[in-house]
């Protein structure tokens, strides 16, 4: 089914995708569908986190995956230029997942080679006192991508329904008037997040959300690596062990979030993340498929400007001879 024998050089020159099927009239989204559709949650069905495998490989091996990842990087880089030139749409990518699920390295890998001027990564940590002086959506709202830009959220407003839900003491310390904190707070937050995201979508922000779904065993292995490899020591935090002990609570909180905030205009992708290379195939494929559907083009230059360009060109050429 997959053609993977072409050399990289050939791929670059002929812009042929390694996942191109024999039917070349297939759209990019159709080609990449096997790596996106099974993992995309848009609210149209029931959602059970347990039915999603963490170790899925989508029929690929690492070598085939690398070719797709590389082809997607090139596509992403091309789309980004047009997105920027058009200055109409913006793209918001939300990354969530347990510690060591691979959020940082996936962002690094998928965006490798994309013009940094068109992208901005925001990492959301524990809120500052200034941030706590506002509603929970404020800090993400001020970090949203401008038109023509790609905004990458490494953790996001969803933490306020995840870590905050798992740790009621965080909510207790927040400065929300106590009579507004009721048992309905989570359903209210889901409703507000969905309305916020719908508003953004209606104004030209394409939103894709990724939950890096790693197994508890794979997290154990990755924590061990962090402890054993000096270059990875800095990534290890004792706090991560405390959160690991709350694994089941986090899984339940993630399931709730995905159940209640998956929509057609802001879908979640439950990304199998035990194999980092497969996670990168899914993430890259979802992003380029969404951009492909926008039918991005470089803006046309009007006739008057073209005429002017001609005159300027002639003048510049004359200058060199003078
Ligand atoms: P890291 O992503 O490893 O740098 O860790 C960032 C930490 O900040 C994680 O433990 C998050 O759970 C925490 N964090 C992010 N957003 C919030 C929030 N709204 N409230 C409390 N903790 C948060
Ligand atoms: Mg961490």
Contacts (Cβ under 8 Å, ≥6 apart) of 218:
54, 55, 273, 274
Query: 39-89: per-residue pLDDT in tens?
Result: 999 999 999 999 999 999 999 999 999 999 999 999 999 999 999 999 999
Residue 248's Cβ-count burial label (10 Å; 0-12, 13-18, 19+) is exposed
Residue with the smallest CA separation from ligand 1 atom 21 is 126
Q: Is the pLDDT of residue 193 over 90?
A: yes
The residue among 92, 53, 42 whose CA lies nearest residue 260 is 42
**pTM of the shown model:** 0.91
> How much distance in Å is there from the Cα of 234 to the middle of ligand 2?
10
Q: Is the pLDDT of residue 221 over 70?
A: yes
H-only helix segments in 111-158: 129-132, 138-141
- Predicted confidence band at 321 (pLDDT cuts at 50, 70, 90)? confident
Give how far the C-alpha of residue 39 lies from the chain's centroid of Cα atoms, to the nearest Å: 13
Q: What percent of the chain has pLDDT over 70?
A: 92
Query: 108-141: per-residue pLDDT in tens?
Result: 999 999 999 999 999 999 999 999 999 999 999 9
pLDDT at 11: 40
- Average pLDDT value for residue range 167-175: 94
Q: Which atom of ligand 1 is nearest to the CA of 103?
A: 2
- The answer to whether the CB of 160 is under 6 A from ligand 1 is yes
Q: Which atom of ligand 1 is nearest to the CA of 99?
A: 3
Residue with the smallest CA separation from ligand 1 atom 4 is 125
Q: Is the pLDDT of residue 14 over 70?
A: no
- Predicted confidence band at 23 (pLDDT cuts at 50, 70, 90)? low
């Amino acid at each position: 089914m997959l053609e993977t024998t072409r050399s990289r050089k050939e791929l670059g020159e002929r812009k042929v995708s390694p996942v191109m099927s024999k039917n070349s009239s297939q759209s990019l989204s159709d080609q990449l569908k096997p790596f996106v559709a099974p993992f995309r949650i848009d609210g149209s069905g029931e959602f059970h986190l347990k039915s999603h495998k963490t170790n899925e490989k989508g029929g690929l091996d690492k070598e085939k995956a690398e070719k797709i990842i590389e082809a997607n990087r090139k596509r992403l880089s091309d789309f980004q230029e047009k997105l920027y030139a058009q200055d109409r749409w913006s793209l918001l990518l939300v990354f969530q997942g347990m510690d060591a699920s691979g959020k940082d390295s996936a962002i690094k890998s998928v965006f490798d080679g994309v013009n940094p001027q068109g992208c901005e990564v925001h990492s959301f940590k524990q809120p500052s006192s200034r941030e706590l002086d506002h509603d929970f959506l404020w800090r993400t709202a001020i970090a949203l991508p401008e038109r023509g830009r790609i905004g990458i959220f490494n953790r996001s407003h969803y933490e306020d329904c995840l870590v905050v839900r798992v740790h009621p003491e965080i909510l207790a310390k927040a400065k929300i008037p106590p009579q507004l904190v009721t048992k309905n707070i989570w359903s209210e937050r889901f409703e507000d997040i969905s309305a916020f995201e719908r508003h953004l979508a209606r104004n030209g922000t394409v939103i894709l959300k990724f939950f890096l779904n790693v197994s508890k065993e794979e997290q154990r292995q990755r924590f061990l690596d962090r402890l054993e490899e000096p270059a990875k020591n800095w990534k290890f935090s004792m706090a991560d062990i405390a959160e690991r002990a709350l694994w089941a609570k986090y899984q339940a909180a993630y399931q709730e979030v995905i159940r209640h905030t998956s929509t057609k205009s802001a879908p979640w992708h439950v990304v199998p993340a035990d194999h980092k290379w497969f996670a990168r195939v899914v993430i890259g494929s979802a992003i380029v498929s969404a951009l492909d559907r926008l039918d991005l083009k470089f803006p046309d230059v009007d006739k008057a400007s073209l005429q002017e360009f001609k005159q300027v060109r002639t003048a510049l050429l004359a200058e060199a001879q003078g």
